[in-house]
Amino acid sequence: MTDMDACALFAPAFMRSQSRYASVRSNRFIAMDLVDPPIDFLALAAGLGVPACRVDRAADIAPAVAAGIASGGANLIEIPVSVS
């Protein structure tokens, strides 16, 4: 999963652009922005018993993925992505 500053797939701004959605017509949304409030993905994973790590450098992605695969279980690798 990538941690983007904004994610149009889940953001209400995206949903509001979909005039055919009942939630748009009623102005009641079940989605949330991934920015406000910020989501602590590592804590969320820990709460579910899933090992997690954050990768801040591109060079660290492959080793993190390899370690996750080698563990034989579910893992979460948070990769912050700047949209600017």
Task: Give tens-digit pLDDT for 29-79.
Answer: 666 666 667 788 999 999 999 999 999 999 999 999 999 999 999 999 999
Q: In terms of domains, do 49 and 11 share one?
A: no
CA 59 from centre of chain: 21
Residue 34: the pLDDT is: 65
Q: In terms of domains, do 21 and 47 share one?
A: no
Residue labelled with tokens 């989501």: 39
Say which amino acid occupies 83: V
d(CA 71, CA 24): 43
Owning domain of residue 68: 40-84
pTM of the model: 0.61
Binning pLDDT at 50, 70 and 90, where does residue 7 land?
very low
Q: In terms of domains, do 49 and 79 share one?
A: yes
Task: Give yes or no for residue 12 having a pLDDT over 80.
Answer: no
Q: In terms of domains, do 45 and 28 share one?
A: no
φ/ψ of residue 10, rounded to 5? -105, -10
The answer to whether the CB of 17 falls within 8 A of the CB of 40 is no
Q: In terms of domains, do 33 and 51 share one?
A: no
Residue 30: the pLDDT is: 66
In DSSP terms, 2 is beta-bridged to 79
- The domain total for the chain is 2
Q: In terms of domains, do 44 and 27 share one?
A: no
In 3D space, the residue among 67, 62, 42, 60 whose CA is nearest the CA of residue 52 turns out to be: 42
